[in-house]
Structure formats: structure tokens, C-alpha cells
Amino acid sequence: MDDDVTRVYTDGGTVAHFLDVLQSPNASDTEALCGRTPWPGLWHGTGSQDEEERAIDLRVCSQCQAVLTHRRNGYLSR
């Protein structure tokens, strides 16, 4: 379902954001779908099993979800 995005979160973050899978979570200027960056830290959620599980547990950022939904609806209508 989420094969084309990666769930990530910031240091101390309470929501998960989506990154395009082609983008690196290991750069502090990588933008999530909502435009947010992890600056001055890095995205977490891909480094270890614990991080992956935490990213799954967090509520998804509503803006990231909206962008993803919009994008998928766009694909479906073509």
C-alpha cells in the first residue's frame, strides 16, 4: 500500500511523515510530502527495526496523507 513512500519521523516527533522512496532520509534538507524537513536533524524510521516500528505506530501527518491521497486519486483518474 505504501510501497512508493517511506514513513519517517523527526527527533521527538509525534507524527509520521511520508517521503518519496527515492529521497534520502539521511539529509536534513529532504522534504516530506507536506514540505517539512527534519532540519537540523535527520529523518528517522528507516535505520533499525525499532525505528520502523515507531514510524508505523505514529499517527500520520495530515498534510502528508492529503498529498498522498490526492496523488493516488490523480493516478486513478487517468
d(CA 22, CA 34): 16
Question: CB of 16: closest distance to Zn ion in angstroms?
Answer: 8
**Residue 17 bridge partners (DSSP):** 8
Q: Is the dihedral of CA 37, 38, 41, 45 positive or negative?
A: negative
By CB under 5 A, the residues from 8 to 37 that bind Zn ion are 17, 32, 34
Q: State the minimum distance, in angstroms, from the CB of residue 10 to Zn ion.
A: 10
Q: Which of 5, 19, 55, 64 binds Zn ion (CB under 5 A)?
A: 64
Binding stretches for Zn ion (CB under 5 A): 17, 32, 34, 61, 64
